[in-house]
Amino acid sequence: MNTYGIPKQAVITVAGTVGVGKSTLTAALARQLGFRTSLESVDHNPYLEKFYDDFERWSFHLQIYFLAERFKEQKKMFELGGGFVQDRSIYEDTGIFAKMHADQGTMSAVDYETYTSLYEAMVMTPYFPHPDVLIYLEGSLPSILRRIQERGREMELQTDTGYWETMYGRYSRWIGEFTACPVLRLNIDDYDVNDERSMADILARVGGMIGSRPVRI
Ligand SMILES: Nc1ncnc2c1ncn2[C@@H]1O[C@H](COP(=O)(O)OP(=O)(O)O)[C@@H](O)[C@H]1O
Ligand SMILES: Nc1ncnc2c1ncn2[C@H]1C[C@H](O)[C@@H](COP(=O)(O)O)O1
C-alpha cells in the first residue's frame, strides 16, 4: 500500500475517446505511482492504416487483432500480479468500436457475432479480473478534435470529423451505463500531467475509491 491508499497489485485503467489524453495520463500516473504501463501499440499495428482506408474490408481483422493484443496484456498483468496503469480497456473495444462498426454496417452481422462470442469466451477465463478503478477522461468535442489534429496521425487526420463526433456521442452514453468497476470521471481541463500535485490529487481520489475493497488480482 502506498501513500495514496492504492495497493501495489492494483490495476487502474484509463478510458476515453481517441485523442482525449489516455496515453499521456497513463504514463504520468504510472511514473508517479512506480507502476508499470500497459499501452496500446499504434505503430506496430498491421491493420490500423488499412482499416482507416477501408472500414468495411478491415473492421473484423482489426477487432480480432485488438482483442488478441488486449488478451496478451491482460494475461501479462495477471501473471505479474498487477501494479499497472492501463491505456484503454477491453470494454471499449467491444462496447464502442466493434458495436459502432456493426451498427453502421461497416462490420457484417456474422463477423460481429463471431467477434462477440470470442470476446465472451475470453472474459470467462481467470485472466480477466475487472480493473480496480476506471478513470474516464472527458472534455469538449472541439478540445478533443484539436488534440487529434495536433498529434497529427495521418490516418486519423484523413478521417471524416463525423466519425469522431459519432464516437464522442457513443462514449458519453456508454460511460453512463458502465458498471463493471468503479469509475472516476475526470475532465481534461482539471489536471496537469506535468504537475506532481495534480497527479497526486488524482491518485488520492483513486485510492479513496479503492478504499477497503479487496484488490482482485
Ligand atoms: N493534459 C494534456 N494537456 C494538453 N495536451 C495533452 C494533454 N494530454 C494529452 N495531450 C496531447 O493530446 C494528444 C492526444 O493525447 P494522447 O495521450 O495520445 O491521447 P489518447 O491516448 O487518448 O489517444 C497528444 O498530442 C498529447 O500530447
Ligand atoms: N477496437 C478498436 N477498433 C478500432 N479502432 C481502434 C480500436 N482501438 C483503438 N483504435 C484506434 C483508434 C486510434 O486511431 C488508435 C489508438 O487509439 P487512442 O485512443 O489514440 O489510444 O487506434
pLDDT in tens, 25-46: 999 999 999 999 999 889 899 9
Cα 148 to the chain's mean position, in Å? 16
Dump pLDDT digits (tens) for 174-206: 999 999 999 999 999 999 999 999 999 999 999
206 and 12 Cβ atoms separated by less than 8 Å:
yes
89 CA → ligand 1 middle, Å: 17
Band (127; pLDDT cuts 50, 70, 90): confident
Ligand 2 contacts CB of residue 115 (under 6 A): no
- Annotated catalytic residue: which of 43, 53, 54, 87? 87
**So what's the pLDDT on residue 86?**
97
Ligand 2 contacts CB of residue 77 (under 6 A): no
Above 0.95 for ipTM, yes or no?
yes
Domain ranges of the chain: 11-24+33-212
Ligand 2 contacts CB of residue 42 (under 6 A): yes
Edge to edge, what strands does the sheet with 84-87 contain?
A: 36-38, 84-87, 11-15, 133-138, 183-187
Active site residue 87: yes
Enter the pTM of the model.
Answer: 0.95
Phi, psi for residue 193 in degrees, rounded to 5: -65, -20
**So what's the pLDDT on residue 172?**
98
Nearest bound ligand to CA 59? 2
Protein residue with its CA nearest to atom 12 in ligand 2: 18
CATH architecture of 11-24+33-212: 3-Layer(aba) Sandwich (3.40)
Q: Which residue has the cell 501473471?
A: 79
